[in-house]
Amino acid sequence: MLFNTHFFIFIFLPLTLIVFHTLSKFKLHHLKFEFLILASLFFYSWWSPKYLFLLLGSIIANYILGKWILKKRNNFKLVIGIFFNLIVIGYYKYTNFFIENINLVFETNYILETIILPLGISFFTFQQITYLVDCNNNKVAKTNLMRYFLYVSFFPQMIAGPIVRHNFLMPQILENQNKDVNYNFLNIGITTFTIGLFKKVVLADTLSKFANPFFYFSETGYILNFFDAWAGALIYTFQLYFDFSGYSDMALGIGLMFGFILPVNFYSPFKAKNISEFWICWHVTLSNLVRNYLYFPLSIYFTRKSVQENYNIYRNFLQSLIIPTIISFFLIGLWHGAGWNFVIFGIINGIYIIIYNLWAAFKKKYKIKDNTNLINNLISQGLTFISIVVALIFFRSTNLDNSYHYLKSIFGLGKFDLIDIFQVGIFAAQPYNGIFLLLISSFIVFLFPNTQESVFSQVKSEVNKDNVIIKRKIFISLKWKPNIAWGLIISSMFLTSVIFLNRKSEFIYFQF
C-alpha cells in the first residue's frame, strides 16, 4: 500500500487512527498494540498477500534467534543469525544478478528465474540484523514477541525506512503502552505528513515528468546536448531529493500520529559542505548502520593488525581507512540494488570519502584552519552538490553502458550546441516550465529550512537526542505553530496534493 493513494489517506489511515486511539481512550491498552500489528500486516499484504508469510517467517525466526543469542551470547550464534538473514535477502534480491554475471564470465546460459522482490525486504531484514547484533552486544535486556512484532512490522517504517534500532523504538513501545492520545504529536504528525505528501505528489512526481525523457532518450542512443544532459541530471537529482524527503516526512508524521518518534532519515543533504556531512544527512539510518556495524569494526580490526605487525604508515593508512571505506560503500551501493551501476554509485561515493579524509588529514597535519566565510561555504557546498549529481547518474541509469553514455554528454563529449538546448521530451514542449521547476526546487532545497527544523523540532523527547541535528544558517526562517495562518497553509498544501493524487506513482525507494 502506498502512502500517496486515496485509499491510504482517506480510509486506511483514518480508520486505523480512530480504532487505535479509541482503544486508548477506553483504557484498552493491551489491545491497541495487537490491533496496530494486525493493521500493519494488512498494510504490508495489500501489495501481495503471499509475501506476508515471508515477513511473518522472518520476524518469528529472528525473534527465536534473538532469544537463543540472549541465553548465552557468542559470535558463532550471531554469525548464524546474520547468515540466515543474508541468505533470505540474497535469494530474493541478488539471485538473478549473480546468475547474470556467471553467464557473462563463464559464457554459460543458465536460465533466470522470475523472482519478484518483496516490498521492504532490505529494510526489515537489516533492521533485524541490527537487533541480533544488539542482542549479542548486551544491548537488549529481554524480549517479548508482541512488542518485537510491532518493532519490525510498524507500517510507517517497514517499506522504505527508516531502519530503526531496537533501543530506539522499544522504550517508546513500553512507555506508550499505557498512555492516552498525545494531541500535540497528532497535530505535528498531520502537519509533517502533509508536507511530505506535497513534496512527493506535487514536486517529485512533476519533476519526474521532465527528468525521465532525458534518460530515456540517452538510453536509446540519442546524443544529449551538454546543457540538456545537465538539465536532466539536475532535475532527477531534485526529483530524488523530494521523493525520499517526502517519504521520510510522511513516515515521521504517521509515527507521531500513533505516539511514536521515528529517527530522522533525511536532513537537507544538499546543504552539506563536504561529502562526509552529505552521508550523515542522506539516508541517515542506513549510514549509521553501515558506519557502526561495518566500518568501525573493520577499521579497528585493521588498525590493531597494523600495530601488531608493525606495518609502515602507508600500509596502515591503506588498511585502516581505504579498505574499510571501499568495502562499506561497495555494500551501500549493492544494498540499493542488484546491479553494477548501483555498486559503482557506492564506490564513487567511497572514493569521495577517501579524498575528503585525505584532505582533512592534510589540513590537520599542517594546521590549516577552515575559512568559513560565505564564499568558501558556497564553493564547498557547490562542489559537494555537483559531485553528488554526477554520482547519481549511475543511480538513475538502468546499466553501466547507459551511465557511460550519459556521462559523455555531461562532460561535454557529445553535442555542445547552444541551438539545441532543452530539446528533449516534455522539456522541449515546455522549456520554461522545466527551468521554472529547477529554480523553484533550488530555492526550496537551498534556502528553506527542512521539515525537522521548522516542524519536527517542536517534538520534545529524550529519544529525540539520537536524531540528526546540524546547525546551519537558514536564509528563510519558518517556524511552524498551531495557529490559523499555518492551518490555512497546511490545508492548502493538502488540497493541492489531493488534486495531484490521480497520478499514481511509487516511491523511488519503494522496492529496495
pLDDT category, 462, cuts 50, 70, 90? very low
Global confidence as pTM? 0.92
Per-residue pLDDT tens digits for 344-384: 999 999 999 999 998 888 888 788 887 778 888 899 999 99
Q: Helix H segments across 397-511? A: 400-410, 425-429, 431-447, 451-454, 484-499
For the chain, the residue count is 512
Per-residue pLDDT tens digits for 61-70: 999 999 999 9
Residue 25: the pLDDT is 85
Pair 223, 414: CB distance under 8 Å: yes
Rounded to whole angstroms, how far apart are CA atoms 340 and 395? 10
Rounded to whole angstroms, how far apart are CA atoms 494 and 10? 12
Q: Which of 166, 283, 336, 405 is catalytic?
A: 336
Q: What is the mean pLDDT of residues 10-22?
A: 96
Cell representation of residue 141 = 535486556
Give the best-scoring range by mean pLDDT among 246-260, 296-310, 409-423: 246-260
Residue 512: the pLDDT is 65
Rounded to whole angstroms, how far apart are CA atoms 384 and 330? 20
303: how many CB neighbours lie within 10 A of its CB? 16
Per-residue pLDDT tens digits for 79-104: 999 999 999 999 988 888 888 888 88
Instruction: Map out the domains of the chain as residue ranges.
Output: 270-416
Cell representation of residue 303 = 588498525
**Mean pLDDT in the chain?**
87
Q: Residue 257 corresponds to which amino acid?
A: M
Pair 395, 345: CB distance under 8 Å: yes
Per-residue pLDDT tens digits for 223-250: 888 888 898 999 999 999 999 999 999 9
- Segment 470-476 long-range contacts (CB within 8 Å, at least 24 positions apart): 470/267, 470/277, 470/280, 470/281, 472/268, 472/271, 474/448, 474/449, 475/446, 475/447, 475/448, 476/447, 476/448, 476/449
Active site residue 336: yes
Q: What is the mean pLDDT of residues 33-61?
A: 92
Per-residue pLDDT tens digits for 121-180: 989 999 999 999 999 998 888 888 999 999 999 999 988 879 999 989 988 888 887 778
Rounded to whole angstroms, how far apart are CA atoms 10 and 5? 8
